[in-house]
Structure formats: structure tokens, C-alpha cells
């Protein structure tokens, strides 16, 4: 890795992967963007725009879209921006490489209930590992609007190497060595965002939304503690910061999914009509199962799971939550 010109590759050309490619290509001779879809490669190669997932944003000409795994494996830094449930398969497909892996996806693996960093360590134990997570909407990052987020590294030496490459004038990473905390914040907030969307879609009011955010954050803290995350990490950009952003805007795929549920649209209908992934829908049942196994009380997550599974309607879920025993706010 030399100066600020290490060879960077991004795996995953959805909206977030494309936005990361745009911001990180600044100052680079070339950045490789691996896309699963041949048509995305063609769009970016011919018009310098990802018209499918990030329309209206012209990409820098030093971004080269590819489906060449060998070229990607030759990069020194790889950002993985695949759906969470596809991370293991992606790492298994990736040829042998010495690259530093930066995970930019949010979720918990369904088949194992492992955090994504645990999956990466299991499949690629010899590669340095970091997590990039925080309050970000892809279209704003692509526009160059001010953004701050967490770059969690296994040690300070890795941070020192990555920071000069990730930091840009409008893109500010903050260091953490709490890898688990950075992951848990992003995974849990996706589920809570669905709940906030339900509140909005059902017209339950701003009071209810604020209550859900704050009590949802308490659930995040409880679950994080059970998995070794630090409370100060979850109170930062990758936890509370991400939660506030995602629970406040239909630009969030998870919030918009919940809004549809709150309006009475069936989950199957909403999920089948999407070309992008709402990670919270796949994370919710995994999170619920793991929380129960660890004896962590997460009633809002339980409510979201019931709505996604079609086992309850909005009114019955709200009634159930409001009838819970009155306890100290610290719980």
C-alpha cells in the first residue's frame, strides 16, 4: 500500500456500492467496481452511470466496471457491498488475495447467526478486516454531501493504513476498535427502521416514532451487550446515528418497507416488488431467534417479525406493546 494510491476494488454495484466507488475514486488512478449484472457493467462502461440502482449520478471516468474476479482479487483493498446473506458465497468465490477486506453490508447470517465479521474471519482468516458503517444514504454520498461514519478496525495499525484512503473532503471516517459494535448497530437499526416505517404508515404520530426510536435503541444496547459490543460504540455514528437517519426517511429501504406494512400492504407483496434489498426483512427473524437464545428481551423486534410473517396486524401489535409491564426506563 503506497500513499493514497493503493488499488481499491468495490464488490457490489448496487446503490451503496456505486456511491462508495464514486467517493473513493477521488484521487485514484483507477477504481474497479465488480457488478453481478452484465447490464450494469455495460451502463457504467458506456455512459458512466448506474441507471438501474443510482440513476442521475454521473460517475468518474476512472471507475471501471468489471466481472473479472482475477482483476478484483489483485486489488489491495476490497470493499464488500453485497447483500448480507450473500457475503459467505462472495468470499468463497473471490480468488486468493492478500487484500484488506472492508465489510460495508449490514446484517446477521441466517444459517449460522454469525456476525458478518465472524463469517469473513471463518472464510478468509488471513485477510485484515475492517467494518465501514454509519448514517448514510447512497444518493447523498454520491452527490458529495457531508457524511461521517465509523471505520472499525481490528487494530490501530490497520486504521493508520486505511484512513488516508477512505477519508475524503466530504466523507469523514471515525476510528473504532469495536468491530462487533459497529456491526450490531447497523444490523439492529435495519429492523427497527421497519418498525418506524410502520408507525408512519399507520399514522400513529411523531410521539410514537420518538418512543420507538428510543426504546428500540434500548433493545440495541441490550443485544449489543450480550454479543460483546460497547455501549459507547452503539451510541455513536454506527448505532444511534444510523438509527436516527434510517428511522426518519423514505429514502431508507427498510423504513419504506415498514411504511407499506403500516398502510396495510402484505409483506409478500412489498418484498416481491423490490429490485433493491431491504436487509431488515431478512435480519429480523435471525435477530429474534438469536436474541431469544441469549435471553435478550426485544419486543419491538418481535413486533416487526410478527408483521413481516403476517401473524398480526398493526393495531394488535401496538396494543400488545402498550400493554407491556411498566418498568424502569433503564431496562
**Which residues are catalytic, by number?**
189
Per the listing, cell 475492517 goes with: 130
In whole angstroms, give the CA distance from residue 287 to residue 184: 10
Beta strands in the chain (DSSP E): 8-11, 31-34, 63-66, 77-80, 100-103, 129-133, 147-153, 171-176
SS3 129: strand
In whole angstroms, give the CA distance from residue 330 to residue 15: 38
What's the CA dihedral at 24, 27, 29, 30 to 10 degrees? 10
Instruction: For residue 86, give the DSSP letter.
Output: G
Task: Show the cell assigned to 36.
Answer: 453481478
In whole angstroms, how far apart are CA 47 and each of 41, 58, 60, 226?
Answer: 10, 8, 10, 48
SS3 174: strand
With residue 280 as reference, give the H or E element that holds it.
Answer: helix 279-293
Number of residues written out for the chain: 331
143: left (phi over 0), alpha (psi -120 to 50) or beta: alpha
Amino acid at each position: 500500500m503506497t500513499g493514497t494510491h493503493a488499488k481499491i476494488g468495490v464488490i457490489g454495484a448496487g446503490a451503496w456500492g456505486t456511491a462508495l466507488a464514486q467517493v473513493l475514486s477521488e484521487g485514484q488512478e483507477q477504481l474497479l467496481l465488480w457488478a453481478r449484472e452484465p447490464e450494469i457493467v455495460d451502463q457504467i462502461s458506456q455512459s458512466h452511470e448506474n441507471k438501474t440502482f443510482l440513476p442521475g449520478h454521473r460517475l468518474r471516468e476512472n471507475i471501471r466496471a468489471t466481472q473479472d474476479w482475477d482483476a478484483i482479487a489483485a486489488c489491495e483493498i476490497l470493499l464488500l457491498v453485497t447483500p448480507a446473506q450473500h457475503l459467505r458465497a462472495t468470499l468463497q468465490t473471490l480468488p486468493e488475495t492478500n487484500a484488506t477486506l472492508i465489510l460495508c453490508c449490514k446484517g446477521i447470517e441466517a444459517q449460522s447467526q454469525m456476525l458478518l465479521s465472524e463469517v469473513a474471519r471463518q472464510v478468509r482468516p488471513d485477510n485484515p478486516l475492517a467494518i465501514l458503517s454509519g448514517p448514510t444514504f447512497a444518493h447523498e454520498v454520491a452527490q458529495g454531501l457531508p457524511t461521517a461514519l465509523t471505520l472499525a478496525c481490528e487494530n490501530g495499525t490497520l486504521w493508520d493504513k486505511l484512513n488516508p484512503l477512505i477519508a475524503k473532503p466530504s466523507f469523514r471516517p471515525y476510528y473504532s476498535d469495536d468491530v462487533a459494535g459497529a456491526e450490531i448497530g447497523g444490523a439492529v437499526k435495519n429492523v427497527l427502521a421497519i418498525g418506524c416505517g410502520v408507525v408512519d404508515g399507520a399514522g400513529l404520530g411523531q410521539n410514537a416514532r420518538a418512543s420507538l426510536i428510543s426504546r428500540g435503541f434500548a433493545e440495541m444496547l441490550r443485544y449489543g451487550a450480550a454479543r460483546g459490543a460497547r455501549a459507547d460504540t452503539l451510541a455513536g455514528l454506527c448505532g444511534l446515528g444510523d438509527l436516527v437517519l434510517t428511522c426518519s426517511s423514505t429514502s431508507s429501504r427498510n423504513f419504506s418497507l415498514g411504511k407499506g406494512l403500516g398502510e396495510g400492504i402484505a409483506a409478500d407483496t412489498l418484498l416481491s416488488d423490490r429490485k433493491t434489498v431491504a436487509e431488515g426483512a431478512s435480519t429480523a427473524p435471525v435477530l429474534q431467534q438469536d436474541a431469544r437464545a441469549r435471553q435478550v428481551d426485544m419486543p419491538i423486534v418481535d413486533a416487526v417479525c410478527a408483521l413481516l410473517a403476517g401473524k398480526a396486524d398493526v393495531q394488535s401489535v401496538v396494543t400488545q406493546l402498550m400493554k407491556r409491564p411498566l418498568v424502569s426506563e433503564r431496562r
